[in-house]
Structure 1
Amino acid sequence: MMSRKMKVLLVVGGCLLTLIAFVYFRGWDGEEVKRDSIATVQELAKHPIYGKYSFGETDKVIDVGMQPLGLTISLISEAMKRDAILKAALAGQGLEIRFHPFFKGTESNFFLARGDLDVVLAGDMPTLTAASVYGITVGAQNRVGLNSIVAKRPLLIKELEGKRIGYAFGSTAHHNILQALHTEGLREADVRLIQLKVSDLPDALDHGEIDAFAAWEPTPTIALAKFDDFVIIHRGLASTYLYFSNTFADRYPKAVHQIVASQLRTINWLKRQKSNLRMACSWAMQAGKDFTGRDMVLSMEQYASLIERDLLTVENVSIIPRQDLETDGRLFRVP
């Protein structure tokens, strides 16, 4: 019989398999990155925000980790919080659900590993890490969109050599940096990776503390709206997922189905009419403000436009192999 871990990898698909090859065969070689990651893990248990969370005292409480600063994750989570059908279905099993905000998926994974969280919504890199290290059941993919590298002037990726790049460690944007550098023959050691909160990246770039940053939406769009001289110099595909600890999935398979159904129900509800999308955007924008204490720079229309692009519209993305673009590649041999 196929193992659960193999099932997870098959569900997640080609995107994560690409990441596996990149991480395990290329490796992590930045000393600053290693130092930052260790400090982060050690401090999470006493985090000024997370240390105050009250996780379920019994196994009848489902604890969910989400990200108010993640475009589609925030929107879906806020709608699921208000899903009366989900609440009623879980109550029928004697269960209730609670949502806990985090800055990034790697932090959610820390609490998933400790047994505090049962469910996480996060990007592809945190999902890959959880599948490889902890063992999870992936229920659904909820976004395929773009992450961006932002700078104060147009730059080629190779011109980032020796530059300071802001990022959130272990995130999908972190992977985009590594991948972009790799395509130009650069290593992590060839740049200075500066770990920051995703909400602090735009101001850090404006103040000259970094030379560029990588982030997921809506942070790049917020940055461009706030600072006229900012430009996007690189974009990379990224995806987000809904996943469960294996312990929870084995114990409550019906609850897993109900939570996945709630996400699908949410997406269908958002597509039904514009007023639903605007209402959910208002919930997500308020959640982001409550979490960071900062107003959302984007208008409702801008936020809704990003959601339509990344979540509600499925587009074909042509990925042409690099070797086909070379001067002796297939495209140059076409008569």
Structure 2
Amino acid sequence: MFSVRFSLQPLALLLVLGVSISGLSACSSDSSSNATNTSTLSAAPTGTANTSNRSTSNQAESNVVRIGYQKYGTLFLLKARGDLDQRLKEQGISVQWVQFPAGPPLLEALNAGSIDYGSTGETPPIFAQAAGTPLVYVAHEPPDPKGEAILVAKDSPLQKVADLKGKKVAFNKGSNVHYLLIRALAEAGLKYSDIQPVYLAPADARAAFEQGNVDAWVIWEPYLTVAKKALDARVLQDGSDLVANRQFYLASQQFTEQHPDRLQAIIEETQKVNEWTQSNFTQAAALLSPQIGIDPPTLTEILKERPYGVQQPLKPDVVNYQQQVADAFVELKLLPKPIKVQEVAQSQP
């Protein structure tokens, strides 16, 4: 437990610090009056106590739902549309949106009691559970294997994953792409130790990739499409036939136990915004573009390619897949001990 917390914290701090990206302002400060970037690993958002030792009674009586989100994805759309805010406002409940640059620091905030709910890829909850974070998987989106990939420069001599042997590969440690890299290397007959991992947040990874300081970059959407267009980067391997790459919706155990009605309202509104986006790609892109910093045509292209839908509860095959992800990290000694995903999953038998 001790080793995991302290191995994750420097990474999460790096992620929070490296929030700007050329051509993509996805991690810029939120202009909303009820949202703020986290400045440290466990910092509470504005308007909340600066400690995780909040009493159970105060938490139960709170009329604020705190949602962690990233500058892309369904929760970002949900925030932009404002439908959840309006629904809960009618019940005397306000929503506080807290922006994060990636999944690991988002779940650190969940662990610290700074947020109640959020969404990440498949790998961050694995590390968070191993670190003792009181989280619960409450729902997920369909697989999106093409939503992440290993990129190389257009003129790179690397033509296949096996060519990565001995090369520097940049990626966000503990994120969804971490597992993609593990699976791609294994499929190519390489060990994790055969490459030189360079742990960088998306902004810093892009800079290193663009300057030629790393040989490859493993990254997710929307950074993926932006890099292909702006840098003319070439896909060496995406997640097809290797990983599921699901987005998971996660909540604190306390929130799921004390506020199941609020939790269900979030999930229902998330499904509604998914359905709206599927029928309104252009409008959704126009809504997000000024806030994310990606031009509407590129955003429309990205939105058309991603899967939609919120699936609840988790079926056994999804839980089993997450267990395989966890076991892979244990085998590589990146987690200190085995974990049981089933223990923190709202699932059906």
Alignment TM-score > 0.5, same fold:
yes
Q: 2:116 aligns with which of 81, 100, 118?
A: 118
Give 1:259's aligned residue.
266
Deviation for aligned residue 1:82: 4.5
Give 1:137's aligned residue.
136
Tell me, yes or no, if the aligned pair for 2:140 and 2:249 is still in contact at 8 Å: yes
Q: How does 1:74-223 map to 2 (within 5 A)?
A: 76-83=74-81, 85-131=83-129, 133-145=132-144, 146=146, 147-152=148-153, 153=156, 154-223=158-227
Deviation for aligned residue 1:34: 10
Residue identity opposite 1:119 in structure 2: Y
The structure that is helix-richer by fraction is: 1
Q: 1:56 aligns with which of 23, 48, 51?
A: 48
Tell me, yes or no, if the aligned pair for 1:55 and 1:116 is still in contact at 8 Å: no
Deviation for aligned residue 1:185: 3.1
- SS class of match (1:144): coil
Tell me, yes or no, if the aligned pair for 1:55 and 1:63 is still in contact at 8 Å: no
Q: 1:244 aligns with which of 246, 251, 259?
A: 251
Query: How many aligned positions are there?
Result: 266
TM-score (norm 1): 0.70
Identity %: 19
What do you get for the CA RMSD once the two structures are aligned?
A: 3.0
Q: 1:196 to 1:38 in 2, by over 3 A?
A: same
Q: 1:83 to 1:205 in 2, by over 3 A?
A: closer
Give 2:303's aligned residue.
307
Provide structure 2 residue ranges, at least 5 long, that are not aligned to the other structure: 20-36, 50-58, 311-349
Deviations 1:14-48 (A, max 9, x none): xxxxxxxxxxxxxxxxxxx9997452357789999
TM-score (norm 2): 0.68
- Equivalents in 2 of 1:287, 1:109: separation in Å? 23
Deviations 1:272-303 (A, max 9, x none): 3x3xx2232233333334xxxxxx3xx42232
Larger Rg: 1
Q: 2:286 aligns with which of 279, 282, 287?
A: 282
